[in-house]
Amino acid sequence: MKRFLLSATFLSAALTIMAQNVTSPDGKMMLSFSIEKGRPTYVLTMDGKAIVAPSHLGYQLKKENSDKSTDFDWKPSRATDKDADSKADFFSGFSLLSFENNSLDETWSPVWGEENSIRNHYKELLVKLKQSKNNRFMNIRFRLFNDGLGFRYEFPDQTNLTYFVVAEELTEFAMTGDHTAWWVAGDYDTQEFNYQTTKLTGIRSQMKSAISENSSTTPAGPTTVQTALQMRTGDGVYLNIHEAACVDYPTMHLTYQESNNTFVSHLTPDARGDKGYLQTPTNSPWRTVIVGRKATDILASRITLNLNEPSKIEDTSWIRPVKYVGVWWDMITGRGKWAYTDAVSSVKLGETNYSKLPSNGKHSANTANVKRYIDFAAKNGFDAVLVEGWNEGWEDWFGHQKDYVFDFVTPYPDFDVKELNRYAKDKGVKIIMHHETSSSVRNYERHLDKAYQFMVDNGYDAVKSGYVGDIVPRGEHHYGQWMNNHYLYAVKKAADYKIMVNAHEATRPTGLCRTYPNLIGNESARGTEYEAFGGNQVNHTTILPFTRCIGGPMDYTPGIFVMDISKMNPSNNSRVRSTLARQLALYVTLYSPLQMAADVIEHYEARPDAFQFIKDVALDWDKSLYLAAEPGEYVLTARKAKGKDEWYVGCTAGDHGYKTDLSLDFLKPGKIYQATIYSDAKGTAWNKNPESYVIEKLSVTNKSVLKGLVAGVGGGFAISIK
């Protein structure tokens, strides 16, 4: 590891230092910090032009003796003198006490990732502030990278600020124009939306329809959107606002203020409306602004990971990428069932002997069916089989939610845990555990040790967890501080048992997988399941890499080969809005060390030639090249398999398709490779013969150019080069 750490501290009499600058290592970006009329203020420029115009920083604390944070109704633009006098004001009356400059240039190796070594290179400015009227202190640490900015608030140990309650974080991001934005509605409980593409001034008028993309929402406000928020300026600069290392803190949304073209942080409240209980010394998560002259610069940025702490798990030898199939699509499409019985009224949890109840005949997680999946996984070189619906409680999940639903250790009578463990072990395959918590979170925490021990005892080393429904205890939100602490607790505890975690419906990731690499996946966005619930927008997978995936890998579950869902279940007329070739491309364009081949066995057996790509594609990479991209239109990515001279290329396209020549100059010179190209057949689009594809094999070298590669509308192509 190469590491240079430079540090300099400058102390000066208060009030004499008014402003400080720091430049990025390449000198092209500049961060200027100043105190404007007592308010901490920053500006970010690139090539001398503002990217973030002067923006204030600070906090509104909860008023003492106030029951609710929200009754304060504080709006930054309406701050009054009365507010400024209050102890709740932690945004004005500041002076700059001192500052420090640091820099770092190091490279580190992730346990798994898009590349085998990551450079962490920044210049840092730490400003130490004092709010004299309340005799309180706050520091702000800025890190400027060549590709953007990270900053966070730090609250040192001090007499007049020990425990405090946040009413709102007041971090501003002032925009410099009416940018184009790709966003999902701000919501405290779901992220499973299609994306909207509007100008900033169009957010409000699109919000109603944006929210209607999901039926169970807790909307955050008429102009509030989620991060990672991707934007493009009129000058063609790409910027992306998100956060890194969100720990013991609520998830941040952004409220767009039309009056001054500014986004302001909007934290997820708890059941009382409070937005964070903090105790000094502590700090906020990092707020990030990734900046690129090209869209692909955003995809190549490692700011989110670099702002997280190195792995806290010392022995990571048990953590590995996982390619899996599963007893899953069957139920998602409605062909099979999670529940063993439909005799709901006869079930008394903890008392019922299920083997005495009539089976509904559609229970997919039965021993024979799971064995079929184990055989299929073993034959095709998959690591694991996910099995959902194996445990008691699914028949009336919502009805039971009042006290408890699942205990995570009691199988239905037709699922033989011991026998399946033996069978899977014999075949060299793992079964992936499923914990649907039903969002009964205290119930889950009470059972967690037993549930993880049960996994260890029965040969499981990975769990998919889920948080469907309103959080119990009631009133908490999926993205509040309380839940964010829970998700991390579940991941840390899993590490004690050497268990890898893939949490669905959990908060959107902020790069914590660097610190806890057993967090190998999250859903936290609209995944493939929605292709069976009405469909995903055609350009969905061209936006996800710029938004959801900025914080960490997504368990998108691609690989659907039959696009007409009514073929699985005649009463489900949903359609997958993708071609088959694009389903292959997603294994490359949507990075994840955890990849599912989500379709059912018979659909793969019917098309072994296309399935070959899923069997071949790597999960872990030495290098990733983002060759061409435009959010909403197309993404073209090439990746080199870790430790092998093999490359995989993927292209996913939106409503206008994509056509390109592809130079293979990234291959090793003087070597002949075998390329297999899987592309949409001529004229194929998501709504026109989506399942027709062509496969072409040819010998290539680093001098080859593949001419006229075409992805249809909602289509794509995938290439393996060995």
Binding site for ligand NOJ (CB under 6 A): 328, 388, 436, 466, 468, 504, 523, 529
Helices (runs of H) and strands (runs of E) counted in the chain: 14, 38
- Residue 436 binds which entry of Ca ion, ligand NOJ, none, with Cβ cut-offs from 5 to 8 Å by kind? ligand NOJ
Residue number with CB closer to Ca ion (114 or 436) = 436
Pick 327 or 706: Cβ nearer ligand NOJ = 327
Per-residue mark of binding to Ca ion, 488-507 (x: CB under 5 A):
----------------x---
Sign for the CA dihedral angle at 494, 500, 505, 510 comes to positive
- How, if at all, do strands 462-466 and 430-436 pair? parallel
Shortest reach from residue 537's CB to Ca ion, in Å: 16
Q: How far apart are CA 115 and CA 122, in angstroms?
A: 19
Size of the site for Ca ion (CB under 5 A): 1
Query: How far, in Å, CA of 240 to CA of 224, rounded?
Result: 16
Considering beta carbons, is residue 79 or 468 the nearer one to ligand NOJ?
Answer: 468
Strand partners, 718: 650, 678
Q: Which sign does the torsion angle of CA 214, 218, 223, 227 carry?
A: negative
Give the shortest CB-503-to-ligand NOJ separation in angstroms.
Answer: 10
Residue 388 contact, options Ca ion, ligand NOJ, none, Cβ 5-8 Å cut-off depending on partner type: ligand NOJ
For Ca ion, the closer CB: 190 or 579:
190
CB of 714 to ligand NOJ, least distance (A): 22
Which segments within 631-672 are labelled E, that is strand?
634-641, 647-653, 658-663
Question: What would the DSSP string read from start to end of 393-422?
Answer: TGGGHHHHTTS----SS-B-TT--HHHHHH
**Smaller CB distance to ligand NOJ: residue 463 or 651?**
463
User: Taking the complex as a whole, how short is the minimal distance between the CB of residue 408 and ligand NOJ, in angstroms?
Assistant: 13
Euclidean distance between CA atoms 373 and 326, whole angstroms: 7
Q: Are 674 and 722 in contact (CB under 8 A)?
A: yes
Catalytic residues: 529
Shortest Cβ 411–Ca ion spacing (Å): 23
Nearest partner of 611 among 634, 651, 581, judged by Cα: 581
**Choice between 486 and 504, CB closer to Ca ion:** 504
Query: Binds 187, which of Ca ion, ligand NOJ, none (CB < 5 to 8 A, cut-off by type)?
Result: none
> Helix, strand or coil for residue 337?
strand
Distance from C-alpha of 135 to C-alpha of 493, rounded to nearest angstrom? 40
Between 60 and 194, whose beta carbon lies closer to Ca ion?
194
Give the H or E element holding residue 596: strand 594-596
Among 659, 612, 611, 610, CA closest to 633: 659
Nearest CB to Ca ion, comparing residues 242 and 504? 504
Minimum Å gap between C-beta 479 and Ca ion is 14
Q: Which structure tokens are listed for 365?
A: 């997680």
The distance of closest approach from Cβ of residue 505 to Ca ion in the complex, given in angstroms and rounded to an integer, is: 5
How far is it between the farthest Cα atoms of the chain?
A: 81
Residue 464 CB, nearest approach to ligand NOJ (Å) = 7
Rounded least distance, CB 189 to Ca ion, Å: 12
Paired sense of beta strands 172-174 and 262-267, if any: antiparallel
Nearer to Ca ion, 185 or 244 (CB): 185
Contact 189, 217 (CB under 8 A): yes
One character per residue 152-191, x = contact with Ca ion (rule: CB under 5 A): ----------------------------------------
**Residue 89 binds: one of ligand NOJ, Ca ion, none (C-beta under 5 to 8 A by kind):** none
Secondary structure of residue 601 in the 3-state scheme: helix
Cα–Cα distances (Å) from 648 to 359, 586, 624, 664, in that order, read 45, 11, 10, 11
CA dist 175 → 54, 185, 239, 240 (Å): 9, 19, 10, 12
DSSP state of 566: G
Q: What does 122 bind: ligand NOJ, Ca ion, none (CB cut-off 5 to 8 Å by kind)?
A: none
Binding site residues, Ca ion, CB under 5 A:
504
